[in-house]
């Protein structure tokens, strides 16, 4: 069951001004009977710098990275060279986009999206006549 698919990076930047290349945060997407849990690594993103939006069946995660860099830098060896994170996911119809809840702690974002009531598995009791 494919209820949440990553969208190719950069393919759907909702804000054209932000269309430049961005860091692609690493994620885990786990589905259980009630819905989806998405966990994303966003090191350096404070709560105020995080943007989480649902737009046309797509979940957009964006964030700005605040680097505590000192003045007067002479040289650097940087493995992270950008300061903006962006990634989008397509939500399937069975997810209830109005019930998204999210928390951010230590640079880890945890998003929970429940399945719509009609999409929840239902046990049907067989009656004996």
Partner 1 sequence: MYRSLFSRDLFAELARLQSEMGQPIDDTPAIRGIGGMGRSGYPALNVTDTPTSIEIVAFAPGLDPAKIDVQIDRGVLTIDGERQNDQPAPSAKTSWHVAERFHGRFRRVVSVPDDIDRQAVTASYRDGLLHLSLPRRESAQPRRVAVQ
Which of 19, 56, 57, 66 forms a contact with partner 1 (CB under 8 A)? 66
Nearer to partner 1, 67 or 128 (CB): 67
Which of 44, 90, 102, 119 forms a contact with partner 1 (CB under 8 A)? 44
Residues 31, 119: contact at Cβ < 8 Å? Answer: no
Nearer to partner 1, 14 or 83 (CB): 83
Q: In angstroms, how far is the first alpha carbon of the chain from the final one? A: 35
* DSSP symbols for 25-69: --EEEEE-SSEEEEEEE-TT--GGGEEEEEETTEEEEEEE----P
**Residue 94 found at the interface with partner 1 (CB under 8 A):** no
Residues that bind partner 1 (CB under 8 A): 1-6, 9, 21-33, 36-37, 39, 41-46, 66-82, 105-108, 110
């Amino acid at each position: 069951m494919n209820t949440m698919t990553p969208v190719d990076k950069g393919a759907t930047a909702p804000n054209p001004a932000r269309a430049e290349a961005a860091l692609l945060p690493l994620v885990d997407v786990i589905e259980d009977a009630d819905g989806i849990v998405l966990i994303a690594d966003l090191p350096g993103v404070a709560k105020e710098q995080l943007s989480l939006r649902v737009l046309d069946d797509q979940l957009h995660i964006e964030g700005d990275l605040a680097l505590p860099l000192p003045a007067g830098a002479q040289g650097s060896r940087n493995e992270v060279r950008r300061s903006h994170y962006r990634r989008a996911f397509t939500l399937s119809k069975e997810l209830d986009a109005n019930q998204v809840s999210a928390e951010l702690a230590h640079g880890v974002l945890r998003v929970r999206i429940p399945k719509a009531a009609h999409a929840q598995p239902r046990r049907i009791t067989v009656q004996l006549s």
